[in-house]
């Protein structure tokens, strides 16, 4: 059961609404109401779809003007003003329109994220092998990954073909070695949160986006080489890590708040 703060959600919808709330896909109509008895507008559903695609309603678009970004991405073609009440037909059409749209981090389309087939195994030496094609799924926390915070895992090898490391994928694991493929495009939020085993790392140049808190509290990490095409160093990315040596790529145009909070960088 996933937690949510709303008092007007029927019991049959608790799990679904709780899941959406836990990954910030919905904030309700107030701190305590979801609006279960209210009609949904096209703008509200487009806001949901844009969040699913990785866009932030505080940074990338205004939720009450979601039609603007939706048209840019091809979700709509000018047929909606946004204030219309949703019908089941609208829901079906807009959902299908979203499937071929690229995720914000360019790790694949929404359909590829849904259809991705990922396989994993842990060998006798303590290496976690991950293979497949497309993006890994996101996880609510490190404890919800299929391998959990397995204390026997000391290395991670991700095979070519994987384009995205899911949120919280390796949090709190004692990883000493990480092998990432050149097919990797994006690293999700909190992907290596709390990992303490590795001291230096080079992120492949294929990576274009590293999520919020991706290397948060990696206290053993002293040196990292960032990919040349990285544009943004996300909030909390290296907060409370052990970094003392880092070169910012020339292409970086934004360093978000708290990206390097509390590390002794010289």
pLDDT band at 150 (very low <50, low <70, confident <90, very high): low
Structure tokens that stand for 87 in this block = 């019908």
Question: Residue 233 in 3-state DSSP?
Answer: strand
Name the more confident of 150 and 243: 243
- Locate all alpha helices (DSSP H) within the chain, ordered by sequence: 14-22, 42-52, 66-73, 88-98, 110-115
Identify whether residues 32 and 88 lie together within a single domain: yes
Q: Exposure string (b/e) for 224-262, b if CB count within 10 Å is 16 or more? A: bebbeebebbbbbbbbbbbbeebeeeeeeeeeeebbbee
Strand partners, 41: 85
CA distance 58 to 62: 6
Identify whether residues 123 and 250 lie together within a single domain: yes
Domain membership of residue 158 (yes or no) is: yes
Cα–Cα nearest to 171, from 156, 186, 184: 156
pLDDT band at 264 (very low <50, low <70, confident <90, very high): very low
Identify whether residues 87 and 128 lie together within a single domain: no
Identify whether residues 152 and 208 lie together within a single domain: yes
Identify whether residues 120 and 208 lie together within a single domain: yes
DSSP state of 11: G
Q: What is the pLDDT of residues 196-242, one digit of tens each?
A: 888 999 999 999 899 999 999 999 999 999 999 998 899 999 999 99
β-strands 245-247, 223-225: how paired?
parallel
Domain membership of residue 99 (yes or no) is: yes
pTM of the prediction?
0.71
Identify whether residues 100 and 115 lie together within a single domain: no
Domain membership of residue 90 (yes or no) is: yes
On average, the pLDDT of the chain sits at 90
**Which of 88, 104, 120 delimits the end of a domain?**
104
Identify whether residues 68 and 120 lie together within a single domain: no
**Residue-level pLDDT at 107:** 85
Question: How many other C-beta atoms lie within 10 A of the C-beta of residue 118?
Answer: 18
Identify whether residues 181 and 217 lie together within a single domain: yes
**Residue-level pLDDT at 221:** 92
Count of domains in the chain?
2
Give the domain extent around 115: 111-255
- What DSSP letter does each residue of 137-182 carry, written as one string? PP-SSGGGSTTTT-TT--EEEE-TTEEEEPTTTTTT---SEEE--T
Identify whether residues 237 and 125 lie together within a single domain: yes
């Amino acid at each position: 059961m996933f937690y949510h703060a709303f008092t007007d959600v029927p019991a049959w919808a608790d799990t679904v609404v709780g899941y959406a709330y836990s990954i910030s896909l919905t904030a309700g109509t107030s701190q305590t109401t979801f609006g279960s008895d209210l009609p949904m507008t096209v703008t509200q559903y487009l806001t949901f779809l844009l969040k699913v695609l990785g866009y932030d309603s505080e940074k990338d678009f205004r939720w009450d003007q979601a039609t603007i970004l939706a048209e840019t991405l091809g979700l709509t073609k000018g047929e909606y003003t946004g204030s219309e009440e949703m019908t089941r037909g609208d829901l079906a059409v807009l959902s299908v329109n979203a499937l071929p749209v690229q995720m914000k981090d360019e790790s694949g389309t929404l359909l590829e994220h849904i259809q991705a087939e990922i396989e994993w195994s842990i060998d006798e030496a303590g290496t976690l092998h991950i293979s497949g094609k497309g993006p890994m799924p996101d996880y609510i926390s490190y404890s919800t990954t299929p391998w959990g915070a397995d204390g026997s895992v000391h290395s991670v090898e991700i095979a070519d073909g994987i384009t995205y490391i899911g949120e919280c994928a390796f949090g709190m694991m004692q990883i000493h070695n990480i092998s990432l493929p050149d097919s990797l495009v994006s690293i999700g939020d909190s992907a290596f949160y709390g990992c303490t085993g590795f001291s230096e790392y080079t992120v492949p140049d294929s990576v274009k986006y590293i999520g919020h808190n991706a290397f948060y509290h990696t206290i053993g990490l002293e040196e990292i080489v960032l990919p040349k095409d990285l544009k943004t160093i996300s909030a909390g990315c290296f907060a409370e890590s052990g970094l003392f040596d880092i070169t910012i790529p020339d292409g970086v145009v934004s360093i978000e708040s708290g990206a390097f909070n509390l590390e002794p960088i010289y």
